């Protein structure tokens, strides 16, 4: 007995498993490299100090003041008003918050005093100024 020939339907589905694997690998690579890229974008020429000490581990935020008058809060460009609001919110959530001020050595002293006034108004006691050790 002979059966009629059955035609096979073409396979029209796409296998997404290899695509998913590639996406997950790319996501892992970007998660690892993004902090490294973001950290090196802002160039600040720190002043030197012979008595500088390494920081202890605590909840820290970094404020960077550049020679061009830009202010960065944790590598994000902010205005003075936004800086005050964000630091106030972070300090309210964690009263033991440590602020590290990274300032280019060519920044005008008037600008540094303005930043110090903001921290004083917010009653921040843990303030450190970053330097390079000699």
- The answer to the question of residue 54 being in a domain is yes
Rounded to an integer, the average pLDDT of 114-124 is: 90
- C-alpha distance from residue 124 to each of 14, 61, 62, 88, 112 (Å): 58, 12, 13, 9, 15
Q: How high is the pLDDT of residue 50?
A: 62
- The answer to the question of residue 63 being in a domain is yes
Mean pLDDT of the chain: 81
pLDDT digits over 96-115, tens only? 888 888 888 888 888 889 99
- The answer to the question of residue 89 being in a domain is yes
Lookup result for tokens 């997950």: 24
Is the CB of residue 132 less than 8 Å from the CB of residue 45? no
pLDDT digits over 2-53, tens only? 666 677 777 778 888 888 999 999 999 988 887 666 554 566 666 666 665 5
Specify the CATH number for the domain of residue 118.
3.30.420.270
**What is the spatial distance between Cα 41 and Cα 65, in angstroms, rounded to a whole number?**
13
- The answer to the question of residue 25 being in a domain is no
**What is the spatial distance between Cα 50 and Cα 2, in angstroms, rounded to a whole number?**
96
Model confidence at 62: pLDDT above 60: yes
Q: For the whole prediction, is pTM greater than 0.75?
A: no
Q: How high is the pLDDT of residue 49?
A: 60
Two tokens at 18?
A: 């290899």
Q: How high is the pLDDT of residue 78?
A: 92
Is the CB of residue 72 less than 8 Å from the CB of residue 78? yes
Segments in 42-108 forming alpha helices (H): 80-93
């Amino acid at each position: 007995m002979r059966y009629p020939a059955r035609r096979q339907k073409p396979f029209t589905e796409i296998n997404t498993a290899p695509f998913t694997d590639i996406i997950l690998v790319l996501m892992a690579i970007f998660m690892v490299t993004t902090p490294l890229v973001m950290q090196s974008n802002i160039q600040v020429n720190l002043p030197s100090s012979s008595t500088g000490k390494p920081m202890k581990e605590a909840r820290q935020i970094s404020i960077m003041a550049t020679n061009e008058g830009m202010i960065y809060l944790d590598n994000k460009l902010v205005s003075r008003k936004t800086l005050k609001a964000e630091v106030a919110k972070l300090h309210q959530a964690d009263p033991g918050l440590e602020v590290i001020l990274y300032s280019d050595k060519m920044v005008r002293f008037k600008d540094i005093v303005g930043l110090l006034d903001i921290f004083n108004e917010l009653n921040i006691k843990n303030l450190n100024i970053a330097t390079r050790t000699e």
